[in-house]
Amino acid sequence: MTIDNDRIKLEPGWKAALREAFEAPYMAQLRAFLQQESAAGKEVYPPRPLIFNALNLAPLEQVRVVIIGQDPYHGPGQAHGLCFSVPPGVPAPPSLVNIFKELKRDLNLEIPRHGCLQAWAEQGVLLLNTSLTVERGVAGSHAKQGWQLFTDKVIEVVSANQPRLVFMLWGAHAQSKERLIDTHKHLVLRSPHPSPLSAHRGFIGNGHFSRCNKFLQQHGLAPIDWRLPEPAAAQDLPL
């Protein structure tokens, strides 16, 4: 998989920093795997133009916060390349509902009536899944096809290139990526995952959103506005 030959549209900063990763043998194998899946008639999420959405919406030089997820959502219409996020018009999944509950508790922000986190990404919140594609209805189906190597490189690159970042590591999978982060210069926040199975064991009450903004401001960076304005296409969405 090469940036030029495969006509991948990628933000210039990320394109330059990840060129060697795109030329690595595992990415060629991943490209072949995705072509085979398509030829076999399998549905793969997110849609191809949105696979690198997290990188395109949060240019490398603008990243201030990194939130690490695992798989894209594997239900129809849910995945759009941002971890924990769903497009306007799609009800917020349970983990995202718990994220909103913690926002309400921590910052007293009203729970949004939609689940699209694009407004965060546009402020420099890298919403990175460690696997960037998934087969419909089969969680974890692409996790061992090469994406983990690629997204590990993304984490290493952003850690090395940015002077001060906040990493939010929710759950054991995200926390396993701490080895890739320069903890001497970045703030790493850890808690249980927001899944309904674990949220009440420490995710609710973690204060990560306020702690993040305090760190950013202490280092002369603008805080994140965690409010989510109503997208034009998201009206009267139930949570």
Q: Which residues are catalytic?
A: 71
Q: How are beta strands 187-191 and 166-170 bridged, if at all?
A: parallel
Q: How are beta strands 187-191 and 65-69 bridged, if at all?
A: unpaired
Closest CA to 97 of 80, 119, 78, 113: 113
From the number of C-beta atoms within 10 Å of its C-beta (0-12, 13-18, 19+), residue 12 rates as exposed
Task: List CB contacts of 82: < 8 A, sequence separation 6 or more.
Answer: 53, 54, 57, 117, 118, 121, 127
DSSP notation for 41-90: T--EES-GGGTTHHHHHS-GGG--EEEEE-SPP-STTT-SSSTT---TTS
Instruction: Report d(CA 227, CA 66) in Å as an integer.
Output: 17
Task: List CB contacts of 57: < 8 A, sequence separation 6 or more.
Answer: 82, 118, 121, 122
| Phi, psi for 124 (deg, rounded to 5) | 100, 25
